[in-house]
Amino acid sequence: MPTFTTTDGTELYYTDQGEGRPVLLSHGWPLSSDAWQVEVKLLADNGYRAIAHDRRGHGRSSKTYYGNDMDTYAKDLAELVEHLDLKDLVVIGHSTGGGEVVRYTAQHGAGRVAKVITVGAVPPQMVASATNPGGLPLEVFDGIRAGVLKDASQFYKDLTEAFFGANRPGATVSQGARDDFWRQGMLVNLAAAYDCIKAFSETDFTEDLKALTVPILIAHGDDDQIVPIDGAALRAIDLVKHGTLKVYPGAPHGIDGAFRLELGQDILAFISE
């Protein structure tokens, strides 16, 4: 399986499928590149080179104790892009991955990244603070940390309910999709999973969003129970220079079903513009 070793000795797994303009996909917490399998095939089938990596500590990458923070995630991504020498690149990030690709593009992507797409992404900042009074209380994330430490396996099973909107009337998410979320979650190193909670909730991406000079598609479901749209996409769109906001009525945080189908077509359309 293809792997790349970063300058600090961390081995990153990635999948690389198709030929053409490169598109790199970054997954959410606590998942892996497997979360993007449908999109990887869609992109490859439509003439693109689709690359998706497992973030350090996640999936088949090294089970790291150190470096589980957004600056290091972005640096890892920069090293992978340089290793593969990707240019005219489109980066796509879901949830935590949205923060990763925004920081990477702002701080490392000049001359390589042409477009950015985020889906249910955490920027500008999730946790409430003096500069982000509308964010979620720190106690929410303390609860996630406690759940992961107490019984990660059960926590991931329970999390799929809100993640996929399975608690909503008429929900169509399958048990298989929920089981696959659990499967991917169980591959993450506990220390990496724990530290990543701080990374995705407390990192302030405000200046990164302001620094973007390339077009960005900000996609978000308006029934996202994990990363509420009011504190995320609806704020982020006001911070970027060349942004397009796409709101999916009734869509949850998890990419599944009708949301996945529509999003896939929107991704193809945005890349081809």
Catalytic residues: 95, 224, 253
Neighbours of 173 (CB within 10 A): 20
With contact defined as beta carbons under 8 Å apart, do 188 and 61 qualify? no
Residue the block writes with tokens 């991504």: 77
Alpha-helical runs (H) found in 85-225:
96-108, 138-163, 175-185, 190-202, 206-211
Cα 267 to Cα 254: distance, rounded to the nearest angstrom: 16
Cα 123 to Cα 135: distance, rounded to the nearest angstrom: 11
CA 22 from centre of chain: 17
Residue the block writes with tokens 């929107």: 266
Alpha-helical runs (H) found in 51-118:
70-84, 96-108
Rg (CA), the chain: 17
Transcribe 204-232 into DSSP letters: --HHHHHH--S-EEEEEETT-SSS-GGGT
Element (H, E) at 234: helix 233-236
Cα 94 to Cα 84: distance, rounded to the nearest angstrom: 22
Cα 81 to Cα 104: distance, rounded to the nearest angstrom: 10
